[in-house]
Amino acid sequence: MCARRVLRAGPEADLVKSSATQRPKGGRDLFADPMPERVEPCLAQLQSKAPVGYEWAYEVKWDGYRLAIHIAGKRVRIITRGGHDWTARFPTIAHDALELGVDSAILDGEAVVLDERGASDFGALQKALGGRGGKRFAAEASLYTFDLLYLDGQDLRILELEERRQMLEQLIGRTPHGSIRFSEEIEAEGDRLLRKACELGLEGVIAKRRDAPYRSGRSGDWLKIKCIQSESFAIVGYEPSTIALGGIGRLLLAAQKGDDLVYVGGVGTGFTQASGAALRKQMDKLIVDKPALAMPVRKRGYRWIRPELVAEIALRGWTDDSKLRHASYKGLREEADESSIYRLG
């Protein structure tokens, strides 16, 4: 039997109930499968309520960057959701991946930086990387792995999630210390788990079908249920300020509707002096004479920019006219992360 590993103390750890798992007996007796150069990630669909039933397994929703770790002999590649090579930006994870002692593997996970409570902090990860387009690396980042797609010549994507995760847990169990960790399954009813996650100030939970193979894209096999909604929006302009942090009074945001961008309101909180100043510097390089979309009001003093920057925004909901409620700025998404702009129905 292989005992479950314990997470670093913190809100995520408070949700985990220890249990034991056993690697599935037998296995596929196949010739070696070719190792994919890249696998499009399985993505979670947003849902307002946690699903019910034993067929669903629950994990913490990590708040960081989705990464695939490719190990081939003595070579490691760390690939972003958008297919960019970020190996150099996560040197500790790359080093520890070689310590797993495998000939070949592809691990799916999320790189995070933990705050003082032990919760994942997207802003701290962005700061470690130097912000959007930054060149720094995040040596203190941890990778919470939640799936194993390929191992020592075998493509595991056709196996059920439960089998893949049992094999992953055994693999990560060989290195109890280091930056690569196993994202624990949490044994609880979905609605109670979500309430507890929200009480602890976490972003939410992920639900996955135990019997599902690994399918790229949004198939509905994985669901995300959030305490506070967080989505990506294009920045189309801003209101400068002489008193606000970083000189930004308000960002003007847009979502996707069909082939067009539509205005969804603004955000004026969540900035620090440093993050606001850095963002304004980037926006001022993209100034244009007129907005890139139809605006209901053209207030004097707004500065319009090309919609090339994508901001991650926390929000409490939507108004009846499709505007953001109680929005707060979290940071800029990386182009390499390929986080899609929120699409209105």
Q: Which residues are catalytic?
A: 61
| Residue 300 DSSP class | T
The Cα 130–Cα 127 span in angstroms is 5
**Alpha carbon 110 to chain centroid, angstroms:** 6
Q: Are 344 and 256 in contact (CB under 8 A)?
A: yes
Q: What is the 3-state secondary structure (H, E, C) of 27-93?
A: CCCCCCCCCCCCCCCECCEECCCCCCCCCEEEEECCCCEEEEEEEECCEEEEEECCCCECHHHCHHH
**Alpha carbon 216 to chain centroid, angstroms:** 16
Strand (E) or helix (H) holding 165: helix 161-173
| Cβ within 8 Å of residue 181, ≥6 positions away | 5, 7, 142, 143, 144, 145, 172
